[in-house]
Chain A
Amino acid sequence: MSPIVKLLAQRIALSLLLLLLISIVIFAGTIVLPGDVAQSILGQSATPEALANLRAELGVNDPPVQRYFAWLFGAMQGDLGTALTSGQDIAQALSSRFWNTLFLAFWAAVVAVPLAIFLGLLAVRFKDRWPDKMISAVTLASISIPEFLIGYVLMYFIAVQLRWFPSVAMVNDSMSLFEKLNAIALPIAVLTLVVLAHMMRMTRAAILNVMQSAYIETAELKGLNAFQVIYRHAFPNAIAPIVNVVMLNLAYLVVGVVVIEVVFVYPGMGQYLVDHVSKRDVPVVQACGLIFAAVYIGLNMIADIVAILSNPRLRHPK
C-alpha cells in the first residue's frame, strides 16, 4: 500500500472513531442536564397530572445504556427519532434547517474565503507598510467585537437608517435566489467580519514563513516580481496551513452561528437547537450535537487530507 493511501485510510478511520466517542459524550451530557423535559414543556402552567401524563407519554424511564444503543443504531440509519415536544420526525424537521444553515455558511464562505486570502496576499506584498497595518487593524478590530454587537450596529445603519437590506433575514421556499441573498446580506456581512481576521492572518503568516526559504530567494534572484513570487512559489507551499484555517472557519460558519441566527431571526440549525435545549428536548439536542460534530470532524478531516495530498514528499516515497 502506498504511504498516501495508508495515511488517508488512517485519517478517515480516526475520524469515525472520534465521531463514535463524541456520540457517547453527547448522549451522556444530555442525560445529566438539570431539569426535566415534562416540566420544561409545560412551564409555569404545569399541573401534577399534566406532568405525570406527559412523562409517561415521553417514555423517559428506560435505562440509559439501552437508550444509547437504540439511538445510535437509529442515527446510523438516518433515523434521529422524534422530537419530544412536538412529536415531529427530527430528521425531517432538521433537513430544511440544515440546508438553511449551509446556505448561509456557503454564501458567507464565498465572500469571506477569497477576500481573506486576497487580503492576506496583499498584506504580505506590502509587509509592514500601511496597507498591511490597515488590513491587520481592521480585521483584528472586527474579530474583537462580539458578533451580536456587530450585528446590531450593521442592523441600525444599514437596515434602519439606510434601508438597503432587511434586518430580518427570513428566507422561505417561495423566494428566488436573489431575494434570499438580499435577505441574508447582513448576516453574511457579520459572519465575514467575524471570520476574516483569522483566515487573513494565517494566510499572511504561512506565506511569510515560506518566504524565508532558500528557493524564494532564488526566485527573487531570478528577477521575478513580488506578486509572481508570492503567487507562484510561496502560495502553493502554504496551502496546507491555509486550508486548515479555512476549514476551521467553515466549521465555525456552520456550527457557530447561533447568535447570528437569533439576532437576524434566521431559521437555521442554531435557533432550532437553542429552542430545544431550553425545553430539554433531548433527542433533538442529541441529533443537532451529532450533526455539528460530524460537520466539524468532516471539515477537519478534509483539511488534513488536503495537507497530506499537497505534501510532495509523500507523493514521491524514497
Chain B
Amino acid sequence: MNRHMQYLASQAAAGKLSRRDFLGKAAALGFTAVSANLLLSTAAKAAGPQKGGTIRLGLQGGSTTDSLDPALVTNTVGLMVTRLWGETLVELADDGGIEGKLAESYEASADAKTWTFKLRSGVTYSNGQSVTADDVVKTMERHSGEDTKSGALGIMRGIKDVRADGDSVVFELDSPNADLPYLLADYHLIIQPNGGNDDPAAAIGTGPYIMKSADMGVRFVAEKNPNYWGDLGNADTVEIIVINDDTARVAALQSGQVDVIDRVPPRTAKLVDRAPNITVHSTSAAGHYVFIMHCNTAPFDNNDVRMALKYGINRQEMVDKILNGYGTVGNDTPINASYPMYTELEQRQFDPDKAMHHLKKAGHDGSILLRTSDNSFPGAPDASALFQQSLSSAGIQLDVKREPNDGYWSEVWNAKPFCTSYWGGRPTQDQMFTTAYLSTADWNDTRFNNEQFDQMLVAARGELDVAKRTQMYADMSTILRDEGGLICPMFNDFVEATTDNVDGFVEGIPGQVLMNGYAASKLWVKA
C-alpha cells in the first residue's frame, strides 16, 4: 500500500494528479493529511525543480511612486523585484544562519571589530562588467553617506570604514559587533556597479534574472539571466503584478491569473485553502502587532499603569479573533522564536485581578486614551475594541479614538503617547533592540530609557560566546517585558498562497515574506 502511495505521490509531483485528488486518495487509504503532505513534498523534491515556464506573482504593497533604486525599497514588491536582479554580500540561510552570496566566505577578528569578506570570483553583472571589491566599497558608501536617503542608513551607522583589499572587502567597526553579517544581509544593500552612483535605478546587478520591463506599481517582467553564477531561478520568465486590493488578489489567484500571492487576509484564509488547486502557506515570523505606550508621558510613566494594561489584554483572544489563528501569542517583548538566540520566558497571561491590583497601586483613575487606525495593522480598530472589552472586565476604562489612515505614521505613531502600531521585526535581537529600544534609537517609539538595558545591549553586541550572549538577550527581554512600554499581544504569520500550477514552496523560511523574497526564483512551474 505504501508503494501505491509513493506511486501516487510521484504522479502528483509530476503534475499528473492534482494535489487535491492525491490527498483524497491518501485519506481513503488511511493516511493522515500530515503524512500525505510530507510524502508529497518528498516526492516533489525527488522529482526536482523543473526548468522553464513563467511564474506569475500577484503582490500587495507596490505603488506608482516606487523606485528601482534598492536604497529606496520600502515594500514587498520592491523586495521581490530587487531579489530578482540583484544580490547582497551574504544572505539569511534557511536555518536562520548566514550564507554567502557575492561573498564566498567571511571572518571576524577576535574582537569582532574587523571583518573581512572574500568575494566570489568571476561573477559578472547583467551588463557584462565584473564585480570588484571597489563596487562593494562604493555601494556601502552610497548607503552610509551623510546625504543618503537609504533605508539602510540606520544599520550602517556603526561602520567606521570600508576598504578594498585585493578581492576582499574589509569592514572596520566603531565597536565590536558579532552580528555584522546579518546587517549586510539587509535587502537594501544590493551590490551595484560603481556602487550604483551612476544610475541607482538601472537594475544592473548579479541576480538570477534580468529586468525586461518595470512599470512602477503596476507590472514587472524579468527573464532568466543566462550568465548567473549560482543555481537560483527555475522559471524562464517571472512576472510580478501589483494587486493591492485583498479581494482582487485572491480572485486573481482563484481565476488562475497568478500562481502566487502574498498577504492572504487571515479572515478568509481558511476559505481560500478549501478552494480546489490552491494551497495556503503560513510562516511564523518576527512581525508583531502592538500597542505602544510612551514610558515618559503620564499616565504611562508609571510602570504600574503599564503593568495593569499588560495584564488586562487577552493575548489568545487577539490571535484567535484578529489573526484567525494565523499567528502566535506575544509576551510584551519584540522577540519570539524566530530569532536565533531566543530563550523562552514565562508567558504572561490575561489576569483582570492583577490588572486591577496594579492600577490601584498606581493610583490612576479615569479613562485611558488609545489611538488607532487600520493603517497601523490590519484589524487594529477591532483589536482595540477587544482590548477595551478585556480591560473593562478588570474595571479599567479605555477610550478608543479612530484616526485617519492618511498620515498615521507622521501624526500619530511616534508622536502620541498610546497607539496601535506594527513592527516587521529584524533578523537579530541586536538589530531589533538597537532599532527601537536603545535610549538613543531613531525609532524609540516607546520612549524607553533604561541605562542597564543600553549597557547590556552594547556588551552583547561584542560578545562572541553564544551561550553568554543568549543569556544577555534573555535578560534584556525580561526587562522589556516587565518595564517596557510595549504591549505585544501577537506575532503575525506570513499567510501566502500558491496554485497547483507551481511547486517548491517551503514554509517556515526565516526573514521576509514569500520565502524571504526568493519565491519567484525558487519555485518552479509544473509541467
Contact = CB atoms under 8 A, between A and B. Distances in A.
Nearest to B151: A45
Interface stretch (B109-117, B248-256, B308-316, B378-386): B248-256
Nearest to A267: B218
A273 to B, nearest CB: 9
B245 A265 contact: yes
A281 B64 CA distance: 11
B74 A43 contact: yes
A89 interface: no
B147 to A, nearest CB: 5
Contacts of A281: 65
Given A36-B410, A167-B252, A263-B248, A48 B241 contact: no
Interface string B116-135: 00000000000000000000
Given A35-B406, A35-B407, A155 B248 contact: yes
B409 interface: yes
Contact of B74 (A45, A160, A166): A45
A142 B407 CA distance: 34
Interface string B31-67: 0000000000000000000000000001000011111
Given A35-B406, A40-B410, A265-B241, A275 B251 contact: no
Given A35-B411, A281-B65, A49 B252 contact: no
B410 A167 contact: no
Contact of A40 (B216, B218, B252, B407): B407
Contacts of B150: 50
Contacts of B67: 85-87
B73 to A, nearest CB: 10
A272 interface: yes
Nearest to B58: A168
A205 to B, nearest CB: 36
B180 to A, nearest CB: 20
Interface in A48-74: 48-50, 53-54
Given A53-B147, A83-B65, A160-B254, A170 B407 contact: no
A267 to B, nearest CB: 5
Contacts, number: 118
B66 A86 contact: yes
B507 interface: no
B424 to A, nearest CB: 9
Nearest to B407: A35
Interface string B188-232: 000000000000000000000000010111110000000000000
A39 interface: yes
Given A43-B74, A44-B409, A275-B217, A168 B252 contact: yes
A272 B64 contact: yes
A42 interface: yes
B471 interface: no
A278 B406 contact: yes
Interface string A115-144: 000000000000000000000000000000
Contacts of A159: 251, 255, 257
A98 interface: no
Interface in B413-428: 413, 422
Nearest to A50: B149
A167 B246 CA distance: 13
Given A43-B409, A159-B251, A166-B255, A276 B245 contact: no
7 contacts: A36-B410, A49-B153, A86-B67, A168-B243, A172-B219, A265-B252, A267-B218
8 smallest A-B Cβ distances: which pairs? A85-B65, A35-B407, A39-B410, A275-B64, A159-B255, A275-B63, A167-B251, A267-B218
Given A152-B251, A168-B252, A275-B64, 18 more contacts: A35-B407, A44-B409, A44-B422, A47-B442, A49-B146, A50-B148, A155-B247, A155-B248, A155-B255, A160-B254, A167-B248, A167-B251, A168-B248, A262-B248, A272-B64, A275-B63, A275-B217, A278-B406
Interface of B: 58, 63-67, 74, 146-151, 153-154, 213, 215-219, 241-245, 247-248, 251-252, 254-258, 406-407, 409-411, 413, 422, 442-443
